[in-house]
Chain A
């Protein structure tokens, strides 16, 4: 899925720490650690949401447990260091769970009044998979982070 810009060779990763202490990649080069797009359904979702814009890792952190014992309740924390001003803000964050029955799990549409991207929720996961958090700014930039979650108990039936 090189056309989607998800798996091209990338440069070395460096960048400042986010509020949660995780590494944020500000440079935004495609990263070899980015997950492959697993199937047509996820490819369609990504194309519908972001067209042919590159989906680069950076400016976003997706915090999830590496192991989720109960797939019915998996905590999610999404944070971004991008500004929330009238001129430039994060207008949406999409949460995509590759191997869930309905992969496009949630969309959070935001405005500058939110002040900062710091969203927490709890989701269901069917099985071990990559989870994608992808944001879109009001100026059309697309930034992503990924988390691989091992699911012990199927939470989707």
Chain B
């Protein structure tokens, strides 16, 4: 995976009103700024600092992160699946990189 590659996983079958678990991962070094290369060069801080979660038109969550979150950050959280709509996550890093991924929340036929 290259920096910014992201995946969001939700259940295959969702019924309206389900409380679903959302698992997300984004590829990122999450450098703290405290490490050096083997050659002794400092590695500057470089990390995801902001994650915005949008469901349909509504911002449902926002996460503020520091370089204390592990490399290739994962996060899992729940969502009340009330409507068929895209679930979008946007990760922004400390150098202004913006990475976006979406999945479609759709209800299984009864």
Q: Please give the residue numbers on chain A whose beta carbons come within 8 Å of chain B beta carbons, in ascending order.
A: 72-74, 84, 97, 100-102, 104-116, 118-124, 155-157
Segment from B1-9, B57-65, B90-98 that makes contact with A = B57-65
Q: Judging by beta carbons under 8 Å apart, are A115 and B59 in contact?
A: no
The residue that B68 contacts in the complex, of A100, A109, A113, A118, with Cβ under 8 A, is A100
In the bound complex, do residue A157 and residue B19 qualify as a contact, i.e. CB atoms below 8 Å apart? no
Instruction: A102 to B64: give the CA distance in the assembly, Å.
Output: 13
Question: Which of B35, B64, B75 touches A157 (beta carbons < 8 Å)?
Answer: B35
User: What is the chain A residue whose CB lies nearest that of B80?
Assistant: A115
> Taking the nearest CB of chain A, how far is it from the CB of B37, in angstroms?
12
Task: Count A-B pairs with CB separation below 8 Å.
Answer: 98
Nearest CB of B to A66, in Å: 19
Assuming the contacts A106-B65, A114-B77, asked whether A72 and B70 have C-beta atoms less than 8 A apart, the reply is yes
Cβ-based interface call for B104 (8 A): no
Apart from the given pairs A109-B62, A109-B64, A122-B69, 11 other A-B contacts in the complex at a CB distance below 8 Å: A102-B66, A104-B66, A111-B59, A115-B78, A118-B21, A119-B77, A121-B69, A121-B74, A124-B70, A156-B68, A157-B32
Task: Tell whether, in the assembled complex, residue B60 and residue A119 are in contact, meaning their CB atoms are under 8 Å apart.
Answer: no
User: How many residues on chain B are close to A (CB under 8 Å)?
Assistant: 30
Assess whether A111 is in contact with B67, with CB atoms less than 8 Å apart.
Answer: no
Query: B residues 16-42 with Cβ under 8 Å of A?
Result: 19, 21, 30, 32, 34-35
Shortest distance in angstroms between A10's beta carbon and chain B's nearest beta carbon?
30
Q: A72-B71, A109-B61 are in contact. Are A115 and B66 (CB under 8 A)?
A: no
Complex Cα distance, B79 from A104, in Å, reads 25
Task: State which of B19, B60, B73, B78 has its C-beta within 8 Å of the C-beta of A121.
Answer: B73
Residues of A contacting B66 with CB < 8 Å? Answer: 102, 104-106
What's the nearest-Cβ distance from chain B to residue A61, in Å?
Answer: 15
- Residues in chain A near residue B64, CB distance under 8 A: 106-107, 109
Q: How far is the CA of A156 from the CA of B33 in the complex (A)?
A: 9
Q: Which residues of the other chain, B, contact A119 by a CB distance below 8 angstroms?
A: 75-77
Could you list 14 examples of A-B contacts with CB < 8 Å?
Answer: A101-B34, A105-B69, A108-B61, A108-B77, A111-B60, A112-B80, A113-B80, A113-B82, A116-B78, A119-B77, A121-B74, A123-B68, A123-B70, A157-B35
